[in-house]
Amino acid sequence: MSPATAEPGLVSTIVPVHDRPRLLGEAVASVIAQTYRPIEVLIVDDGSTDDTPGVADRLAIEHPGVVRAIHVPNGGPGHAREAGRREARGEFLQYLDSDDLLLPGKFAVQVAALRADPSAGVVYGWTTYRAGGEGAGSEGTSERPWKRTGERIERMFPSFLQSRWWGTSTPIYRRTVTDAAGPWSELWNEEDWEYDCRIAALGVRLAYVPELVSIQRDHAGPRLSERVSRDRTKLANRAIAHRRILDHAMRAGIGRDVPEMRHFARELFLLSRQCGAAGLVAESRELAGLARRASGGGRRAADVWVYARLADVVGWRTMGRIVGALDRLR
């Protein structure tokens, strides 16, 4: 589906899901409850092994013409979102993780904001955090905006170098922007941060709605983001994502003296040490070089250079473990 053939005004919501039958029903219900129309919901079952595929099919039957169920082999969240993106017919795209919720007025206020500002390519509003797990009531919901979603920020760079400061549920994207950014990556971790930094590199302006639009939910189920500092596969994914994010920032012309770039250089160095401690020598060495590149000189670059030289002597794994132990003692 190209921007030229997208259905005007239609908001396409893409919901990747893996083994979350109950939460999926609640997430989809929050889309159906939108006061805005027209909408469509694309549930992408990412190779679930429980009754999630049946729940997805049942939701499609219950909401004909609105909900569609797509079944793909297990390939991770980026793979699933991309399968949905290719099938989406809307002028606007909403990504929604299967464990989060939208507020009923989200589409109405955010689409209105994009229509009022044709120069903006993405719109966001407040997301809040709900603790208490699956089925928790509103009493577990924070009254404050989560991360930096309560701030008015004009562009995604350079602030996205410091963190992905919104949730997947927070923004709505114009279809023209997501098509310009290209497909989601094959990564299983930090694929969402890398995707948003790719959009940031386009210089896209943000529209802002100072209202609560979505809820980030905590729960007891598994998350791909768990134990990322110790899992070799997750660390390798993060190494690739960080390299790509730095490339996006460099392409966007973010200078090495910008505070957010200096912060990202420190993150690259930390991840280098974590990869080294896990025995990912090639990744550790590459990240150390990227940290020096992002630092652009000065004491931080010198510290990384000394670390790399010592690692070449004693071994990158040994060096990573030594420095990691010292970091924990501080």
Q: Which helix (H) or strand (E) holds 243?
A: helix 232-251
- Position 98 scores a pLDDT of 96
Same domain, 33 and 108: yes
Domain that holds residue 155: 3-217
Residue 136: CB atoms within 10 A of its CB come to 14
Same domain, 207 and 308: no
Same domain, 64 and 186: yes
Same domain, 102 and 194: yes
Same domain, 43 and 136: yes
* Among 187, 217, 247, residue at a domain's last position: 217
Same domain, 306 and 183: no
Residue 94 in any domain: the answer is yes
3-class secondary-structure state, position 13 = strand
The domain that holds 139 is classified in CATH as: 3.90.550.10
CA nearest to 266, candidates 231, 303, 236: 303
Same domain, 123 and 203: yes
DSSP E strands: which ranges in 228-316?
Answer: none
Residue 74: CB atoms within 10 A of its CB come to 13
* 10-residue stretch averages of pLDDT, the chain, 330 residues long: 79 98 97 98 98 98 98 97 98 97 98 98 96 55 88 98 98 98 96 98 98 87 58 96 98 96 96 97 97 88 93 95 82
- Position 79 scores a pLDDT of 97
C-alpha count within 13 angstroms, C-beta hemisphere, residue 216? 19
Same domain, 145 and 53: yes
Total domains in the chain come to 2
